Amino acid sequence: MQEPFRQEYEFCPRCGGCLEQKVIKDGEPARLVCTNCGFVFYLGPKLVAGALFEDKGGIVLVKRGINPSYGLWTFPGGFVERGERVEAAAERETLEETGVVVKAKEIVGLYTYDGLVPAIAVYAAEIVGGELAPLDETLEVRSFAKDRLPWEEMAFQSTEQALKDYMRTSP
């Protein structure tokens, strides 16, 4: 059986009762269960959407202006809102961080890692409007030639993996 998780929540979102870790079904991890009403609080991954696209012959990356990984490079992206299409989230986050409007095309990959909450969906995209500029949560926006990517300054493992997958499939 899986190791117990760090309990992030103490109270039931339905009735306010205390949550405790409890194995509901053999072979599955412990779940948070309300001691008052029996509500099962299933914790799932948080979905992140990102976009990889090119401008002036190079791949556009943003230098993060927030933690985690402040000052390091990644593709524009962020959390998907409840009820939002993943492609729309990638487009929205790109506009918020870079000032350009993109159209998400095919998925580059879905990246997950043991012990980490986010699942990262990365799309290839194309610019359809706007001008590149560092905006919300971004220190810098830059277009890098494929042979001059800042590999030693990448923010996340998913950044490196998605870039490698993108370059393998793009001309």
- Residue 171's pLDDT is 66
What is the full per-residue pLDDT of the chain (171 aa) written as tens digits? Answer: 344 456 789 999 999 999 999 999 999 989 999 999 999 999 889 999 999 999 999 999 999 999 999 999 999 999 999 999 999 999 999 999 999 999 999 999 999 999 899 999 999 999 999 999 999 899 999 999 999 999 999 999 999 999 999 999 876
46-169, superfamily in CATH? Nucleoside Triphosphate Pyrophosphohydrolase (3.90.79.10)
Domain residue ranges in the chain = 1-43, 46-169
Q: Say how far residue 51 (Cα) sits from the centre of its chain.
A: 10
Is residue 84 annotated as a catalytic residue, yes or no? Answer: no
User: DSSP characters for 117-143?
Assistant: -EEEEEEEEEEEEE-----TTEEEEEE
Q: Which of 8, 93, 140, 153 is catalytic?
A: 140
Residue type, 10: E
CB pairs under 8 A, 24+ apart, for 105-111?
108/52, 108/162, 108/165, 108/166, 108/169, 109/161, 109/162, 109/165, 111/157, 111/158, 111/161, 111/162
HEC-encoded secondary structure of 69-118: CCCCEECCEEECCCCCCHHHHHHHHHHHHHCEEEEEEEEEEEECCCCCCE
- Residue 2's pLDDT is 42
CATH number of 1-43: 2.20.70
